[in-house]
Amino acid sequence: MDVISVIRAKRDRQTLTPEQIDWVIDAYTRGAVADEQMSALAMAILLNGMDRAEISRWTAAMINSGERMDFSSLPRPTADKHSTGGVGDKITLPLAPLVAACGAAVPQLSGRGLGHTGGTLDKLESIPGWRALLSNAEMMDVLRDVGAVICAAGDGLAPADKKLYALRDVTGTVEAIPLIASSIMSKKIAEGTGSLVLDVKVGSGAFMKNVDDARELARTMVGLGTDHGVKTVALLTDMSTPLGLTAGNALEVRESVEVLAGGGPADVVELTLALAREMLDAAGLPDADPAAALADGRAMDAWRRMIAAQGGDPDAKLPVAREQHVVTAESTGRLTRLDAYGVGVAAWRLGAGRARKEDPVQAGAGVELHAKPGDEVTAGQPLMTLHTDTPEAFDYALAALTDAVEIGGDHTPPPLLIDRIA
């Protein structure tokens, strides 16, 4: 078999055979297929698509490129959650300990931010002492003791995806739905969770800008989970406005702790509870009440134990940026738009995110919101506060917000929960 014939087949809109898929993924992982050749194949997939059988086989080949984890020895059923990424999306932080407090085990393998979307590991690393890198044995110990762990995926998990993801990022093929779906699901299936809930974001701050594309991605991923024996459900959720009132690292940790303490912004609480109910139902615990676990302190107890088990100090003061700049309303009226993408880019430029995976991030940087769409504001009222250690970044961040805010007129906010696919 040779890579040219595989590229030509997909270029000419043919269905790749299982043998072609197995071979090309294995050969690329070993280095026998060059980056420029896999780039050509990825572009052909972006342009011509794949059917369900092709995507399922492609996903299986990426899973088989590395190790598979096994949680069958745990005394609890396992449930995991994955978000396709957004602005202010700190849901994993309160969600994992909340679901653990209700009786499931949550092996949450998370990633870092890139561009305008935040990364769960970057947020948690703002807690003094907390560490993302755990061995498989350490991960199992935390799961047995606490019931929830949030950590980085090991190098042995779907290494083909790690290599292909980096290539897609620099070749304009990130948006290919077959490749997005197989990338996400290969890692989640190899992780070994018994059930999976997907939070597929829709809107300006998401990778999927419209509902039709998001629904197609969700259906593709749910199908992949089903094909590989993982009970999978997806929620489509709005990402036209940032989630909650913060976008940053330590800022979002602080807001997550507020939710675990029984407070926090209404949209963050709503989505956390919706995803928790789906995870518990998928894990076979439909009678568990996550709202009660938030109210009575069990979720907060699980959070504190989880952070401490990974070396963090749950009582430590979180980092605060050295410089702040307040953005005020230019007129009086109803705030009708606060664009998630603009806020995400501003937070990134302030130092909360990175342009390349190796770039450092500032723990205290980000954007703090003082109003959300639907709120009445007056001229001169603070709309948001920008936080950074590098004040020279303020002008660059403000440029991202130029068209992000609209005041005046009627406002009908989109629903936070758009659809459910199972």
CB 185 within 8 A of CB 225: yes
Q: Which residue has the tokens 């009440």?
A: 289
Instruction: Sketch out the chain's domains with CATH numbers.
Output: 3-49 (1.20.970.10), 80-154+185-309 (3.40.1030.10), 323-407 (3.90.1170.30)
Q: Strand 366-369 relative to strand 382-388: parallel, antiparallel, unpaired?
A: antiparallel
In the predicted structure, residue 416 carries a pLDDT above the cut 90: yes
Model confidence pLDDT, tens digit, residues 214-223: 999 999 999 9
In the predicted structure, residue 409 carries a pLDDT above the cut 90: no
The alpha-helical segments, DSSP class H, found in 244-375 are: 250-260, 266-282, 290-295, 298-309, 340-347
Read off the pLDDT band of 418 (50, 70, 90): very high
Which residues share a beta bridge with 386? 325, 367
Instruction: Give the Cα separation of 40 and 34 in Å (integer).
Output: 10
Instruction: Give the Cα separation of 89 and 327 in Å (integer).
Output: 22
pTM, entire model: 0.94
Distances (CA, A) of 184 to 83, 111, 194: 10, 11, 16
- Identify the active-site residue in 183, 195, 240, 256: 183
Mean local confidence (pLDDT), 104-110:
95
Read off the pLDDT band of 250 (50, 70, 90): very high
Please say if 187 is a catalytic residue. Answer: yes
Please say if 204 is a catalytic residue. Answer: no
Please say if 325 is a catalytic residue. Answer: no
Q: What is residue 406's predicted lDDT score, i.e. its pLDDT?
A: 95
- Identify the active-site residue in 161, 238, 267, 339: 161
- Identify the active-site residue in 10, 57, 81, 187: 187
- Identify the active-site residue in 10, 82, 90, 387: 82
In the predicted structure, residue 177 carries a pLDDT above the cut 90: yes
Q: What is residue 21's predicted lDDT score, i.e. its pLDDT?
A: 98
In the predicted structure, residue 140 carries a pLDDT above the cut 90: yes
Q: Strand 195-202 relative to strand 231-238: parallel, antiparallel, unpaired?
A: parallel
Q: What is residue 355's predicted lDDT score, i.e. its pLDDT?
A: 75
Q: What's the chain's average pLDDT?
A: 95
Token pair listed for 117: 């979307």
Please say if 2 is a catalytic residue. Answer: no
User: What whole-number percentage of the chain has pLDDT above 70?
Assistant: 100
Please say if 161 is a catalytic residue. Answer: yes
The alpha-helical segments, DSSP class H, found in 231-288 are: 250-260, 266-282
- Identify the active-site residue in 168, 304, 349, 387: 168
